[in-house]
Amino acid sequence: MRKLGSVFIVLLLASLLVACGEDEAGDAGIDEKNIVVGVTSGPQEEIAEVAAEVAAEEFGLEVELKVFSDYVLPNTALSEGDLDLNSYQHEPFLDQFNEDHGTDLVPVGKTILNPMGIYSETYENIEDLPDGAKFGLPNDPTNGGRALFILEEAGVITLEEGKAETASIHDVVDNPKNLEFIELDAAQIPKQLSEVDAAAINTNFALEAGISPKEDSILLESTNSPYVNYIVVRAENENDPTVEKFVQAYQSDKVKTFIEEEFQGSIIPSWDE
């Protein structure tokens, strides 16, 4: 009987420890006063610094920024709990990451768009492109599909239904201007712009070539684009009050003004759209 009693006490203590652990896990959430945010270096970091200032001023929320130089580690760190949220990616990238890694990361607030532009050295408007015009298209699936989406949104072409974010030139079902799509390396398109009638160029490559998306494009990607960036969290923190405070800080007038003045249209605040 004494032995049975000892076993019972051990089991009781073990169950109490497990219960305590469950309570702690259940109560685990994001700290109300401190938050760790992952960003990529460059503009994302600069904008998040301003958002952190607003968070401190408006909510007494201290924001620690962790800066990454690639596009995978911020999501890995978030999924493993090293970050409370991150801010650097668009939804198609996030969806692919979740699919590839079995993670459950969710978007909670729009941030910015790095708009892809359509450029031409000959024509001043997308409607001016002649029949059979040569159109330079990035040859990688993500950017090529993105360029086709822009053309469809502008009414230049029609894509097969359901292919907006994954389209290739083979998904073009209506092409009234009979555009001749020429697939080129995205980084080289600015140098080859004179060889085509028009071309789609990513913002970073345009800026490197001294091309202004706002001033020089004949068509600029709108904030209806699926490539708008988001603040992202683990699914269990989707409605966390601290997350909501950071989203509000990011989507503030102070951050919007900073983006508009600092980047002059090459980056667009997207949360009011």
Condensed to tens digits (0 to 9), the pLDDT of residues 50-103 reads 999 999 999 999 999 999 999 999 999 999 999 999 999 999 899 989 999 999
Confidence of residue 273 (pLDDT cuts 50, 70, 90): low
Q: 110 vs 15, which has greater pLDDT? A: 110
| Residues contacting residue 249 through CB under 8 Å, at least 6 positions apart | 51, 52, 54, 55, 58, 59, 61, 255
Q: Distance (Å, rounded) from C-alpha 71 to C-alpha 103?
A: 15
Neighbour order of strands in the sheet with 62-68: 62-68, 34-40, 85-90, 229-234, 105-110
pLDDT of residue 223: 80
- pLDDT (0 to 100) of residue 163: 82
Mean pLDDT computed over 152-170: 90
Its pTM stands at 0.77
Helix (H) or strand (E) holding 4: helix 2-27
Which whole-number Å values give the CA distances from 261 to 45, 57, 221, 229, in the listed order? 16, 21, 19, 19
Amino acid type, 171: D
Q: With a cut of 80, say whether residue 202 has pLDDT above it.
A: yes
Predicted local confidence at residue 157, as pLDDT: 97
Of 130-134, 202-206, 222-226, 236-240, the least confident: 222-226
**Cα–Cα distance, 228 to 87 (Å, whole number):** 11
Share of the chain above pLDDT 90, in %: 75
Say what the pLDDT of residue 196 is. Answer: 98
pLDDT at 164 over 80: no
Using the predicted structure, report yes or no on whether residue 1 has a pLDDT greater than 80: no
Structure tokens at 163: 């292919």
Give the pLDDT confidence of 207-266 residue by residue, as tens digits.
889 999 989 999 999 888 889 999 999 999 999 999 999 999 999 999 999 999 999 888
How is residue 40 written in tokens? 């990529």
| Phi then psi dihedrals of residue 119, to 5 deg | -125, 155
Average pLDDT, the chain: 89
Confidence of residue 16 (pLDDT cuts 50, 70, 90): very low
